[in-house]
Amino acid sequence: MIIKTAEFIKSSGRWQDCPEAVMPEYAFIGRSNVGKSSLINAMLNHKDLAKTSQTPGKTQLINHFIINEAWYLTDLPGYGYARVSKSMRKDFEKLINNYILNRKNLVNLFVLVDVRHTPQKIDLEFIEWCGENGVPFSIVFTKVDKLKPNAVLANVEEYKKELLKTWEDLPEIYITSAEKKEGGDAILKFIAETNAF
Q: Contact residues for ligand GDP (CB under 6 A)? A: 30, 32-38, 52-53, 78, 142-143, 145-146, 177-179
Residue nearest to ligand GDP (CB): 35
Question: How many whole angstroms separate alpha carbon 117 and alpha carbon 66?
Answer: 32
- Beta strand residue intervals within the chain, DSSP E: 6-12, 25-30, 62-67, 71-75, 106-114, 137-142, 173-175
Give the residue with the Cβ less far from ligand GDP, 171 or 184.
184
Question: How many whole angstroms separate alpha carbon 134 and alpha carbon 67?
Answer: 26
Least Å distance, CB 104 to ligand GDP, is 26
Least Å distance, CB 181 to ligand GDP, is 9
Least Å distance, CB 142 to ligand GDP, is 6
Give the residue with the Cβ less far from ligand GDP, 54 or 108.
54
Give the residue with the Cβ less far from ligand GDP, 52 or 102.
52
Residues contacting 39, CB < 8 A, separation 6+? 28, 112, 140, 142, 176, 178, 183, 184
Least Å distance, CB 112 to ligand GDP, is 7
Give the residue with the Cβ less far from ligand GDP, 64 or 143.
143
Which candidate, 171, 62, 156, 63, places its Cα nearest to that of 108?
A: 171
